[in-house]
A and B are shown apart, each in its own frame.
Chain A
Amino acid sequence: EVQLVESGGGLVQPGGSLRLSCAASGFTFSDHYMDWVRQAPGKGLEWVGRTRNKANSYTTEYAASVKGRFTISRDDSKNSLYLQMNSLKTEDTAVYYCARVPAGYDFWSGYTDYWGQGTLVTVSS
């Protein structure tokens, strides 16, 4: 059974930093690209970023709203995905989901087939 479990959310002040983790199980993590997607309270879904796997040099792409502040990384030996968030703003307050791109899809044109339960990040003074 595919499982994705996020952790690391919490309350942080504007300008602060936070690192989210996503533990994957039930599939061969290294075969898949992975996404982070967020959802502000009462709002819709916003794609945050995507990372390739080791075979494709772990390269990443980000939404314009987070580029330069957020960094996605992964450790395929630990089946884990990370999101380092720096210079946080109040508008970054959201539930953050990690999600899997099906194996074999092109990096530039893949959807997501499994999602974690999410972790809430609140940016407030």
Chain B
Amino acid sequence: VIWMTQSPSLLSASTGDRVTISCRMSQGISSYLAWYQQKPGKAPELLIYAASTLQSGVPSRFSGSGSGTDFTLTISCLQSEDFATYYCQQYYSFPPAFGQGTKVEIK
């Protein structure tokens, strides 16, 4: 079993801020990591796969980095529509598993 630690669980930020969310694995997963955004009452939406590949249609202010055990989601200039909960997901080891989530709220 791969243990995942996503941090922080809550992030208070202002529009225009640069924010980073971390996802750490208990063992290496190469680049088999995805990031999702979920707004209240809505389904998750894929932002990034393969650790750093932007899904089609996702704004370029979102970026992903990392490989092995440490991964980061960065939002370069936070917009009002970005206040949401973000989840990482490892798909290197079966079953695929999600991080605990990071809620990005308005400061």
Interface residues of A (CB under 8 A from B): 35, 44-47, 61, 63, 97, 108-118
Contact = CB atoms under 8 A, between A and B. Distances in A.
Interface string B36-80: 101000111110010000010000000000000000000000000
B32 A115 contact: no
7 contacts: A44-B99, A45-B98, A109-B94, A111-B34, A112-B34, A113-B49, A118-B43
Given A115-B43, A117-B43, 19 more contacts: A44-B87, A44-B100, A44-B101, A45-B36, A45-B38, A45-B87, A45-B89, A47-B98, A97-B43, A108-B94, A109-B91, A109-B94, A110-B96, A111-B91, A111-B96, A113-B55, A114-B46, A115-B44, A117-B42
Contacts of B25: none
A119 B6 CA distance: 27
Contacts of B100: 44
B96 A47 contact: yes
Interface residues of B, number: 23
B96 A44 contact: no
A112 B47 CA distance: 11
Contacts of B92: 109
Nearest to A118: B43
| Residue with the highest number of chain A CB atoms closer than 10 Å, among B34, B44, B92, B95 | B95
